[in-house]
A and B are shown apart, each in its own frame.
Chain A
């Protein structure tokens, strides 16, 4: 668990981070979002003490981070950056095995772990183990970066715009894999990005920052439903917010059982998002879809009118809960 309370960082007169408090529970994925220069990367680097904070407390598993030796602390925390930071004079395998070697794991354990990680991240060993970073594509290099961060099995993973330099297709693919990886590994992740869609897709907890301060934090849905100020609203896409919220909702959560009337022509799998369902309605000029399971058997129905009504109800209940 990571806990920041009233943390500030001053560079001379200027406050890069100004009195922020946030808490990332074990196994949760927290995204820090904001425009560049808002202090999100500084916040990240204070957690592994690349930057020492000026005021407040940063606790790791309930213990102040100053009480840890910085070198040992960093070996327990995975770190991924946009430019990968891979060592150009080392092979992929050597790069990945770095932290286990620093921790003096026996040689065959390091090898086994490197191979395990390369498998996990879709890097065939024969093809990649002996390549150098400059021989990799951007996406492959960042896979190596993630593998290196995970190598010594840290509980905590810090990621600083890891997919920011990738082309949209590769980025989306790596985001999808990150979701799967996290579902399996349950790391405590702090993820910095300026891409709100990326944050919405990956995070359990969203923290919006501006000028070194936290503007708003909460679950992605809570933020989408109740942006507290125009800045958060604009980051969340303004008018597009409805669709972004729909993208976070599964079809199966809004489906009703098959009615008496004839089933609709268009079919949509139950685990697709509501956004995809709305898009399909627009495309096929209909206001009802048949929901199917993985075997393409109809299991329910989705109606535009009901979605709209339920959205209203959600809004009321969410406001009450807030």
Chain B
């Protein structure tokens, strides 16, 4: 499913950026306007003492959420893409099955278990959740980097070499540009999954948009849960549609393949 996000030539490449804009505006409105929706949440939780989560500003939580996902994504992309490149080179070929299996293993390991194992060594806070997200998000990136690079036709790579390109030039001027749409699809899957998974960080003291959800569960306050879930969903939709729009521009620029 991850790899099958295939690249179909799109006829209307330019409707792209409207959707992320809409989701982004909705997200901003939700972050800033949540306190004004007290009456709605009051209806949901008539008996609670408080119906709007106030232990931290929603904008602060959103910022921390983005930071955690962003740091994890940056490291994962770096590691995943480099690993994918390394094992598709002649010298790294032997490690190809190993890297594939390691990445799969990372994803079969539930993030909750990673958190449980990471806390004793890394302590409470943001670090354990970043580690968990990195392990969890690695697979789609590694797998799509491999699929993308292996999908570049041998004839094209041979021709590039035969024209007198150095292996480095073949990689960054031919292979990576041609594999980019597939790699990007992997990054998109990884980041979107991790936006939701990052909420788990609240259980180990990393404050982010998962906080209202955990607090809501602990206190039996559905209003908090809905607020956290709503913001996380809107964030995921915004980011996902951003990737979609970027993929479309990439595709139309490269409609070739």
How many residues of B sit at the interface, in one of the four size bands? 20 to 34
The answer to whether A50 and B158 have CB atoms under 8 Å apart is yes
Q: Which of B155, B156, B163, B165 has the most CB of A within 10 A?
A: B163
Q: Is A89 an interface residue (CB 8 A)?
A: yes
Which of A27-35, A74-82, A209-217, A269-277 contacts the other chain?
A: A74-82
- Given A89-B177, A132-B256: A81 and B155 interface contact (C-beta under 8 Å): yes
CB nearest neighbor in B for A148:
B163
Option from A48, A88, A132 in Cβ contact (under 8 Å) with B162: A48
- Binary flags per residue of B126-158, CB closer than 8 Å to A gives 1, else 0: 000000000000000000000000000101101
Give Cα A99–Cα B177 distance, bound, in whole angstroms. Answer: 19
Contact indicator A74/B155 (Cβ below 8 Å)? no
Whether B156 lies near A87 (C-beta < 8 A) is: yes
Whether the pair A88, B256 counts as a contact (CB closer than 8 A) is: yes
Partner of A87, one of B160, B162, B255: B160
Question: How would residues 83 to 120 of chain A score, 1 for a CB under 8 Å from any chain B CB and 0 otherwise?
Answer: 11111110000000011001000000000000000000
Number of A-B contacts (CB under 8 A): 66
B11 within 8 A of A: no
Asked if A85 and B256 sit within 8 Å, CB to CB, the answer is no
- Check A85 against B156 for contact (C-beta < 8 Å): yes
Q: Does A79 lie within 8 Å of B159, measured CB to CB?
A: yes
**Complex formed: what's the CA distance from A134 to B253 in Å?**
13
A300 within 8 A of B: no
With A and B bound together, what is the CA distance between A79 and B155 in angstroms? 12
- CB-nearest residue of chain A relative to B177? A89
Residues of B near A75 (CB, < 8 A) are 163-164
A133, B160: Cα distance in complex, Å: 15
Q: In whole Å, how far is A83's beta carbon from the nearest beta carbon of chain B?
A: 4
Instruction: Let me know if A88 and B164 touch, CB within 8 A.
Output: no
Q: Is A71 an interface residue (CB 8 A)?
A: yes
Asked if A72 CB lies within 8 Å of chain B CBs, one says yes
User: Which residue of chain B is the closest to A134 with respect to CB atoms?
Assistant: B256
The smallest C-beta distance from B53 to any residue of chain A, in angstroms, reads: 48
User: Cβ of B226: which chain A residues have Cβ within 8 Å of it?
Assistant: none
B115 CB within 8 Å of chain A: no
**C-beta contact mask, B230-246 vs A, less than 8 Å → 1, else 0?**
00000000000000000
Q: Does B217 contact A (CB under 8 A)?
A: no
Whether the Cβ atoms of B166 and A71 lie closer than 8 Å is yes
Residue B161 lies at the interface, judged by CB distance under 8 Å to chain A: yes
Complex contacts, A88 vs chain B, CB 8 Å? 156, 178, 254, 256-257
Docked CA distance A74–B169 (Å): 14
What string of 1s and 0s marks CB contacts (under 8 Å) between B58-71 and chain A? 00000000000000
| Interchain CB contact under 8 A, B177 and A74 | no
* Residue in contact with A74 in the complex, picked from B153, B156, B164, B257, CB distance below 8 Å: B164
| CA of A48 to CA of B155, assembled, Å | 15
Q: Does B86 contact A (CB under 8 A)?
A: no
Q: Considering the chains assembled together, what is the distance between the CA atoms of A221 and B161 in angstroms?
A: 37
User: Across the interface, which residues of B come within 8 angstroms of A84, CB to CB?
Assistant: 155, 159
- Chain A positions within 8 Å of B256 at CB level: 88-89, 132-134
Q: Smallest CB–CB gap between A71 and chain B, Å?
A: 5
Give the distance in Å from the alpha carbon of A83 to the alpha carbon of B155 in the complex. 7
Q: Are A99 and B163 in contact (CB under 8 A)?
A: yes
In the complex the two chains form, what is the Cα distance from A134 to B255 in whole Å?
9
CB pair A50–B162 under 8 Å, yes or no, is yes
Contact residues in B for A73 (Cβ distance below 8 Å): 164
Is B254 touching A81 in the complex (CB atoms < 8 A)? no
Verify B158–A99 contact, CB threshold 8 A. no
Q: In the complex, which residues of chain B have a beta carbon less than 8 angstroms from the beta carbon of A86?
A: 156, 159
List 3 A-B pairs, minimum CB-CB distance, nearest first.
A85-B159, A75-B164, A88-B256
CB pairs A–B below 8 angstroms (10 shown) = A50-B162, A81-B159, A87-B160, A87-B174, A87-B178, A88-B178, A99-B163, A102-B163, A134-B255, A134-B257
